[in-house]
């Protein structure tokens, strides 16, 4: 089965409305330093094509309950570099159109610009993740992902084409991306919904962060004192201060606010799924 219920580790902190998820590829070559898939997908930063994906998916879609949403993708990006050449995600979207599937797309790439024609004919909302508008920091954090400005340009075009659009600012890294949060927000002020999440640490993430940002980690690590479900979280008072300020800044711009795995407020949904027609 390629379509699976979305239930990330049965987390008590996950407030997502029930939905399904589909990953057109295994692995993701954006190679984000803070990526959590390295803890459960071997060779996670190498993209692999799935066996027999399209015929199997078509069989599954014939039986699929159309009330539910399929989110793409939560364990890989639906637009890795190789998608330009292979067009597998585009073919998945063509199947979604044929079977009238409701879809929530999330990417850190601008390749989806190619598919705006198709996306505008689907019952679909499109989102991008932008951790920071600072190109230099983004390159360090997400070495192989297209620059944030390209993602934003593509999302503006999607909005112009009538597609509901949203964004994630995730993860927020104190003393780093949090420093340019307002500028990032200004660049995203045309979206309908923004979901935020603070950086969470696991051993693999911690090791990559230490290697790349030794000085930053000297300040950050002592603040990661709370453990929930295998992840270290920022000290609660600091985390809530960040979330409250982020919420105020987002809502002041007339954008709805969501938070992901924080045990904090979201409205109308944490993940932007209310935007899917």
d(CA 166, CA 181) in angstroms, rounded, equals 16
167 binds ligand SF4 (CB under 6 A): no
Count the neighbouring beta carbons within 10 Å of the beta carbon of residue 7.
Answer: 12
CA distance 157 to 162: 9
The reply to whether 76 sits near ligand SF4 by the rule CB under 6 A is yes
The DSSP code sequence of 104-139 is EEEES-SGGGGGHHHHTTSEEEEEEE-S-S-HHHHH
What is the distance between the alpha carbons of residues 230 and 35, in angstroms, rounded to a whole number?
15
- Provide the minimum distance between the beta carbon of 170 and ligand SF4 in the complex, in angstroms, as a whole number: 9
Mark out the alpha helices in the chain (DSSP H runs): 53-63, 83-86, 88-98, 116-119, 135-141, 148-160, 181-187, 203-212, 214-220, 236-252
Segment interacting with ligand SF4, rule: CB under 6 A, options 28-36, 196-204, 248-256, 262-270 = 28-36
Minimum distance of ligand SF4 from residue 31's CB (angstroms): 5
Q: How many residues bind ligand SF4 (CB under 6 A)?
A: 10
Complex with ligand SF4: residue 44 or 243, whichever CB lies closer: 44
With CB under 6 A as the contact rule, the residue among 3, 16, 22, 28 that binds ligand SF4 is 28
Cβ closest to ligand SF4, residue 168 vs residue 247:
168
31 binding ligand SF4? (CB under 6 A): yes
Q: CA nearest 262: which of 154, 170, 130? A: 170
Which contacts qualify for 145-148: CB closer than 8 Å, 24 or more apart? Answer: 145/30, 145/32, 145/77, 145/108, 145/109, 146/108, 146/109, 146/110, 146/111, 148/184, 148/187
The encoded tokens of residue 250 equal 């987002």
CA distances from 52 to 43, 45, 46, 59, 88 (A): 21, 21, 19, 11, 11
The DSSP symbol for 155 reads H
Among 77, 113, 115, 262, contact with ligand SF4 (rule: CB under 6 A): 77
Of 23-31, 85-93, 155-163, 227-235, which segment contacts ligand SF4 by CB under 6 A?
Answer: 23-31
Nearer CB in complex with ligand SF4: 28/70: 28
Choose the stretch contacting ligand SF4; rule: CB under 6 A; options: 30-38, 193-201, 217-225, 231-239.
30-38
**What are the tokens at 91?**
């073919």
Instruction: Lay out the site mask for ligand SF4 across 106-145 (x = CB under 6 A, - = otherwise).
Output: --x---------------------------------x---
Residue among 32, 71, 155, 194 that touches ligand SF4 (CB under 6 A): 32
Q: How far is the CB of 149 from ligand SF4 (least distance, A)?
A: 17
CB of 77 to ligand SF4, least distance (A): 4
CB 161 within 8 A of CB 132: no
- 77 or 271, CB closer to ligand SF4? 77
Min separation Cβ 65 and ligand SF4, Å: 27
Q: Which residues bind ligand SF4 (CB under 6 A)?
A: 28, 30-32, 35, 37, 76-77, 108, 142
């Amino acid at each position: 089965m390629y379509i699976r219920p979305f239930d990330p580790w049965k987390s008590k902190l996950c407030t997502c409305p029930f939905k399904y998820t589909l990953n057109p590829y295994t692995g993701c070559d954006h190679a984000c330093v803070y990526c959590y898939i390295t803890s459960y997908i071997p060779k996670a930063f190498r993209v692999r094509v799935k066996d027999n994906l399209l015929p199997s998916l078509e069989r599954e879609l014939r039986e699929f309950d159309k009330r539910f949403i399929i989110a793409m993708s939560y364990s890989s990006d639906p637009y890795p570099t190789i998608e330009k050449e292979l067009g597998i995600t585009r073919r998945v979207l063509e199947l979604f159109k044929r079977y009238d599937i409701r879809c929530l797309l999330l990417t850190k790439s601008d390749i989806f610009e190619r598919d705006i024609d198709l996306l505008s004919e689907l019952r679909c909302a499109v989102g991008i993740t932008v951790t920071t508008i600072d190109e230099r920091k983004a390159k360090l954090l997400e070495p192989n992902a297209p620059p944030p400005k390209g993602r934003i340009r593509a999302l503006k075009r999607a909005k112009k084409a009538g597609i509901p659009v949203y964004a994630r600012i995730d993860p927020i890294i104190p003393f780093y991306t949090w420093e340019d949060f307002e500028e990032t927000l200004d660049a995203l002020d045309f979206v309908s919904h923004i979901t935020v999440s603070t950086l969470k640490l696991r051993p693999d993430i911690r090791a990559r962060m230490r290697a790349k940002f030794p000085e930053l980690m000297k300040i950050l690590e002592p603040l990661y004192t709370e453990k929930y479900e295998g992840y270290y979280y920022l000290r609660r008072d600091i985390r809530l201060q960040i979330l409250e300020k982020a919420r105020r800044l987002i809502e002041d711009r007339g954008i709805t606010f969501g938070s992901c795995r924080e045990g904090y407020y979201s409205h109308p949904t944490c993940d932007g799924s209310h935007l899917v027609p």
